[in-house]
């Protein structure tokens, strides 16, 4: 259908599902994927409007920026987040959040954490969150030191964590613990619900990797969020690598059994997997677009290359849609909702309401 209206198609559909974590208890009530939680507090239109936030002690598995975001939202108060564009249902949910302890777990050490320095330091800016790092979790081997020497960002993260480990614990009401060298082995349950987490203590092996010590710890938590990576979802009629969670490609040109699928390209996480930040994505997109421009003289071209043909097609299929102008109308509407409250915007969540706000004024 797309090829009828466009000379070429670039898929940049990203990664929106949680990568699996195969440990006992992962399917218990109270065990969640970070991607689902992020979709809820970001106001995605296709997810439920409520989220169970009745756990007083929560575990977050993973040491990347997604884990930090999840931990931050769980540890902050609803009123702290109100100045942002969170939807009304999310604010009400977070106001009722019972979490007072959030524990973030990484199986390796501080030098292997995937936090960015800015995201990490922001945790400590909240007047309600006491960030705590145990001194025994600050450890480096030869591989870790090499990682610090080779990356300014890695060294900045390590220095921040060291500073937090040697300071006295303050009295801010919500505690956020960053644990290293703890590898999750089992989510503990009772009557089908999460009641704890078991981890194995690990140690560095000299290369920056870790091995198990055979010593186990048990943590009193009532909810577990796994933030161990995102996974892209298959797109029908395109080749897909189930193991990598990507569309096979060469420099952005989609490949099917080694042959380039004509005028079909990918960029972003669907191209190379869920790693890297915006800077990486820019270079990634440049590569794909360069290939598209190189191939453009040989495109067959669209058979119905007009905007009206697209609109007629969508209307014939009864597919709801908006336009670029409609997006601007929705943007103005959200900003107008936020203005009386002194907020930049109030996000509209329901798809029907977004479409209605994007329609031209019939007055």
Which of 343, 339, 337, 348 has the alpha carbon at shortest distance from 81? 343
Each residue's pLDDT tens digit, 254-272: 999 989 999 999 999 999 9
pLDDT given at position 20: 87
Cβ-contact 57, 225 below 8 angstroms: no
The pLDDT of residue 362 is 60
Percent of the chain with pLDDT over 90: 87
- In this predicted structure, the answer to whether residue 293 has a pLDDT above a threshold of 70 is yes
Residue 124 scores a pLDDT above 70: yes
CA distances from residue 317 to 1, 208, 313, 320, 323 in whole angstroms, order as listed:
12, 55, 6, 9, 17
363, pLDDT greater than 60: no
Contact 107, 183 (CB under 8 A): yes
pLDDT in tens, 341-351: 899 999 999 99
**Residues for the chain: how many in total?**
363
Q: Which residues pair with 29 in a beta bridge?
A: 193
Region 14-19 average pLDDT: 88
Question: What CA–CA distance (Å, rounded) separates 160 from 165?
Answer: 9
pLDDT-derived band at 211 (thresholds 50, 70, 90) equals very high
In angstroms, the CA 176 to CA 298 distance is: 56
Overall fold of domain 17-230:
FAD/NAD(P)-binding domain (3.50.50)
Q: pTM of the predicted model, to two decimals?
A: 0.89
What tokens were used for 362? 């019939």
Bridge-based pairing state of the strands 174-179 and 101-105: parallel
**In which element (H, E) is residue 121 found?**
helix 117-122
CATH number of 2-13+232-298: 3.40.50.720
Across residues 24-36, what is the average pLDDT? 96
Q: What is the pLDDT of residue 17?
A: 87
Give Cβ neighbours of residue 127 (< 8 Å, ≥ 6 apart): 172
**Mean pLDDT, to the nearest integer, of 169-193?**
97
Helix pair 142-150, 152-166: axis angle to 10 deg = 120
């Amino acid at each position: 259908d797309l090829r009828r209206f466009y000379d070429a198609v670039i898929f940049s559909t990203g990664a929106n599902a949680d990568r699996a974590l195969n440990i006992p208890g992962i399917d218990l009530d109270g065990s969640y994927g970070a991607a689902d939680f992020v979709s809820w507090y970001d106001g995605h239109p296709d997810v439920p409007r409520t989220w169970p936030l009745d756990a007083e002690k929560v575990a977050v598995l993973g040491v990347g920026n997604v884990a930090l975001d999840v931990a931050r939202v769980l540890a902050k108060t609803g009123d702290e987040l109100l100045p942002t564009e969170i939807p009304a249902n999310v604010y009400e949910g977070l106001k009722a959040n019972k979490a007072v302890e959030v524990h973030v777990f990484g199986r390796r050490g501080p030098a292997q954490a995937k936090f960015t320095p800015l995201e990490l330091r922001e945790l400590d800016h909240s007047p309600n969150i006491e960030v705590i790092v145990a001194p025994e979790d600050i450890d480096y081997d030869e591989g870790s030191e090499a990682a610090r020497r080779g990356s300014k960002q890695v060294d900045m993260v390590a220095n921040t964590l060291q500073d937090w480990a040697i300071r006295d614990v303050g009295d801010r009401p919500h505690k956020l613990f960053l644990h290293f060298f703890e590898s999750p082995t089992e989510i503990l349950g009772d009557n089908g619900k999460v009641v704890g987490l078991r981890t194995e203590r690990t140690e560095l092996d000299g290369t920056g990797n870790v091995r198990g010590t055979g010593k186990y710890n048990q943590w009193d938590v009532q909810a577990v969020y796994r933030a161990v990576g995102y996974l892209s979802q298959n797109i029908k009629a395109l080749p897909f690598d189930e193991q990598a969670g990507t569309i096979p490609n060469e420099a952005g040109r989609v490949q099917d059994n080694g042959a380039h699928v004509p005028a079909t390209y990918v960029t972003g996480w669907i191209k190379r997997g869920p790693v890297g930040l915006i800077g990486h994505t820019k270079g990634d997109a440049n590569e794909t677009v360069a290939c598209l421009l190189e191939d453009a003289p040989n495109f067959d071209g669209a058979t119905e290359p007009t905007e009206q043909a697209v609109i007629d097609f969508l209307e014939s299929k009864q597919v709801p849609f908006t336009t670029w102008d409609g997006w601007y109308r929705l943007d103005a509407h959200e900003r107008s909702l936020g203005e009386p409250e002194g907020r930049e915007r109030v996000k509209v969540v329901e798809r029907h309401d977004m479409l209605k706000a994007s329609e031209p004024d019939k007055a």
